[in-house]
Homo-oligomer: A and B are copies of this chain.
Amino acid sequence: MNEQLKGLLAQVSDGSLDITQAQQQIESLYFTDLGHTVLDMDRERRTGHGEVVYCAGKSVSQIHDILSHLDTSGINVLATRLDEVIWQQLAPSFPHAAYDASSRLCSLIHTQPRRCTKGYIAVVSAGTSDASVAEEAAGTIEFYGHEVRRFNDVGVAGIHRLFRHLEEIRGARVVITVAGMEGALASVVGGLVDAPVIAVPTSVGYGANFHGVSALLSMLNSCSSGISVVNIDNGFGAGYLAVMMNDL
């Protein structure tokens, strides 16, 4: 958009645009205020990353407004936490979108993101039920043009399942571990790899897991070094952070 700004300033300079109008047009290069939501229209240019829309807690019409505005501005968008029942109301308006019900991710791509060629990110998950959170991480990584490798159902109850893939996991530059219940996978992986590990506790389990608290505390108190933790079920946050790290 730098070019757009330059053009506007040139118009101001030659008097073809008055200052009040210029102010509005310049501001709209950066923000759009929809009333309920203030959109950042400049992130993609600044960071090379598309815009992310967190859909939980927003009404169908709010999500529609936001996606439409970004979409018609030609900005890549990743919608997260978009429940299938809500998506079904939105889908007709966004025929070119890619939606995945398990991860609840929806992406609208206008420009293919530049590929990151530094190496791959491993997403390692403990049980079948953790897979949707793992997929939220993996889908986010792909949205940003990084390579991801998935290792599902390799929890520590049968540690040989993990060891089958150990060399490939060790080859990753960044590792995401996704686990519910007691979340021991993070500590075990953290003790086996030399890469930074992002731990995602999930709410998978019952009773004294307290909707993910057991895995969360487990991961925060890991005896392995090089581990940090994101919120319960926050696959997107882990994927986004992994991309930032892999870009280093």
Footprint of B on A, CB under 8 Å?
Answer: 31, 35-38, 40, 47, 52, 56-58, 62, 81, 126-129, 131, 152-159, 161, 164, 173-174, 181-184, 186-188, 190-192, 194-196, 198, 201, 203-234, 237-238, 240-241, 244-246, 248
Of B38, B161, B209, the contact of A153 (CB 8 Å cutoff):
B38
Contact B229 A228 (CB under 8 A): yes
Given known A156-B188, A157-B223, contact A232–B218 (CB-CB < 8 A): no
Q: Which B residues are in CB contact (< 8 Å) with A37?
A: 128, 152-153
> CA of A188 to CA of B211 in the docked complex: distance in angstroms?
22
Contact A191 B158 (CB under 8 A): yes
Contact A207 B220 (CB under 8 A): yes
Contact A217 B218 (CB under 8 A): yes
Of B58, B212, B217, the contact of A214 (CB 8 Å cutoff):
B217
Least CB separation from A229: chain B residue: B229
Contact A182 B217 (CB under 8 A): yes
Contact B184 A225 (CB under 8 A): no
Q: Which B residues are in CB contact (< 8 Å) with A195?
A: 244
Of B38, B52, B209, B226, the contact of A241 (CB 8 Å cutoff):
B226
How far apart are A190's CB and chain B's nearest CB, in angstroms? 7
Q: Which B residues are in CB contact (< 8 Å) with A126?
A: 223
How far apart are A189's CB and chain B's nearest CB, in angstroms? 10
Main secondary structure of the interface of A (DSSP, over half): mixed
Contact B227 A241 (CB under 8 A): yes
Contact A159 B191 (CB under 8 A): yes
Given known A52-B225, A152-B36, A245-B196, contact A128–B208 (CB-CB < 8 A): no
Least CB separation from A204: chain B residue: B57
Q: Which B residues are in CB contact (< 8 Å) with A209?
A: 217, 221, 231
Contact A188 B159 (CB under 8 A): yes
Contact A182 B221 (CB under 8 A): yes
Given known A127-B223, A194-B47, A205-B221, contact A156–B184 (CB-CB < 8 A): yes
Q: Which B residues are in CB contact (< 8 Å) with A204?
A: 57
> CA of A17 to CA of B211 in the docked complex: distance in angstroms?
50
How far apart are A149's CB and chain B's nearest CB, in angstroms? 14
Given known A62-B128, A241-B226, contact A219–B182 (CB-CB < 8 A): yes
Contact A182 B173 (CB under 8 A): no
> CA of A240 to CA of B246 in the docked complex: distance in angstroms?
17
